[in-house]
Amino acid sequence: MSNYKEQSDIELVEASRRDGDQRAFGELIKRYERPLYNFILRMISSPAEAEELFQETFLRIFKNLDSFRGGASFSPWAYRIAHNLCIDALRRPDKRIFVELEKDDDDEVSILDRRENEQSLNPENELYRRQIGHSIQEAVNALPPKLRSVFVMYQYEHFSYDEIAKVLEIPLGTVKSRMHAALKQLSNKLRHLTPAGKSPRGKKES
């Protein structure tokens, strides 16, 4: 009996498409279900639609296993399929969703690179951290799809620029320019945020 957990992604892909090994494909799903679902959810924001797109992602992966190039990395290929489905969904005329996502506070604050982690959190700071999270969420949702995908992959999926370029099949320079544009838009959207107890100009409130 094969030990699927010890096999590489490529070995599992080969077993799935050559032998129709459903258990091998099941191991691939197990490995990627959480990161791919989280990526889709951060792109789409709606848990219900993210679940549908997640299922469609793996359906397309299964149907297109024969077109997967041997020797290539499975991860960028899988993310590319998920990304393309997300972009198609976001481009629909009726698509404009702003639904609350559940994120770790550490992820939310890291985007702004603030210094709250150096302080002991009091209730005022904790409330402010949550307000930051909601504001960041709305700002990310407002990014154009092409900028959002680069930002989400870099910030939340911890992809390098090179890895993002492979997923999206675009030049490295384009990844960097999109990231720069995304950060610029987010900065403009979030410039009103100031540390708790301070005015927007940095003066303490009376």
Closest residue by Cα to residue 196 from 90, 93, 120: 120
pLDDT, position 191: 81
* CATH number, residue 24: 1.10.1740.10
| Residues 146-162: tens digit of each pLDDT | 999 999 999 999 999 99
Say which residue, 127 or 151, is predicted with more confidence. Answer: 151
Rounded CA separation 59/109 (Å): 35
Q: 65-69, 166-170, 182-186 — which is least confidently predicted?
A: 65-69
Phi, psi dihedral angles at 204 (to 5 degrees): -70, 140
List the CATH number of the domain containing 120.
1.10.10.10
Residues 85 and 112 in one domain: no
Smallest CA-to-CA distance from 86 within 45, 119, 125, 126 is with: 45
The whole domain housing 140 covers: 105-190
* 121 domain residue, yes or no: yes
Overall domain count for the chain: 2
pLDDT at 113 exceeding the cut of 60: no
By three-state DSSP, how is residue 184 classified?
helix
Question: What is the per-residue pLDDT across 60-106, written as a single tens digit (0 to 9) for each?
Answer: 999 999 888 766 789 999 999 999 999 999 888 665 443 344 444 44
Query: 111 and 176: one domain?
Result: yes
Residue 111 pLDDT:
41
**Closest among 126, 146, 127, 147 to 189, alpha carbons compared:** 147
The verdict on 72 and 133 lying in the same domain is: no
Give residue 193's pLDDT: 66
Nearest to 129 by CA among 115, 141, 143, 139: 115
Q: Is residue 46 domain-resident?
A: yes
Contact by Cβ (8 Å): 143, 184: no
More confident residue, 118 or 27: 27
Give me Rg for the CA atoms of the chain.
Answer: 20
95 falls within a domain: no
- Kindly state whether residue 96 falls inside one of the protein's structural domains: no
73 with 149, same domain: the answer is no
Q: What is the pLDDT of residues 29-52, one digit of tens each?
A: 999 999 999 999 999 988 999 999
Q: Do the domain assignments include residue 198? A: no
Same domain assignment for residues 84 and 19: yes
With contact defined as beta carbons under 8 Å apart, do 38 and 156 qualify? yes
pLDDT of residue 20: 82
